[in-house]
Amino acid sequence: MKFFVDTAEIEAIAELNELGMVDGVTTNPSLILKSGRDILEVTKEIADLVDGPVSAEVVATEADAMIEEGRKLAGIAENIAVKVPLTWAGLKACNVLTNEGRMVNVTLCFSANQALLAAKAGATFISPFIGRLDDINLDGMELIADIRTIYDNYDFQTEILAASIRSVNHAFQCAHVGSDVMTAPPKVIKAMAEHPLTDKGLEAFLADWEKTGQKIL
């Protein structure tokens, strides 16, 4: 499973990228706001930093305006994936931009039917929002599994990009059901390395090593 980092914070991306943990980056208007940066400037900096796709989101709601914004964003760098919402206008924009050879990430997906439409429109990525479904007592992971089945049934090439990842359990479950990609905040990706038994075992090993009185260096 590919790891995308869901942030517009350059330092956080760079730290994970140095460890080979970054296959791409996703941003949205809320993350741009949090960064306090100009969207074109920070998107260019991220795209220069990582090799994989960098999702940059349009803010227009009409198809023609989405297409124009998408072209502007795609012009920032070759690895930009234009992010459009899963609305009818967004699907129209997706189809046009895809046919122009651009990567498109269709976001805010909450049903398998929506995912099917996005694949038909030629989306590079479909972004189902796991955490937001869980928030309203629906099973976000069931949606991932349903999309996986549908895409495999018809050999759609659209990649499932699980979004709204809130926990390490979400990360594991996405990998288990076959999501192609997950995008998660840096803190969630780093938390995947943590386990209380690892900490306990390391503490015991270090205590025993101290008793030997030896040094490696």
Is 144 within 8 Å of 179 (Cβ atoms)?
yes
Residues 6+ apart with CB under 8 A from 73: 43, 56, 58, 80, 82
Query: What's the half-sphere exposure (Cβ side, CA atoms, 13 Å) at 47?
Result: 20
DSSP letter for 91, please: H
- By annotation, the residues acting in catalysis are 83
Nearest alpha-carbon partner for 179 in 127, 124, 139: 127
Report residue 213 as tokens: 């009185």
How many angstroms separate the Cα of 30 from the Cα of each of 19, 75, 108?
26, 22, 14
* 98 contacts: CB under 8 Å, gap ≥ 6: 104, 121, 122, 123, 124
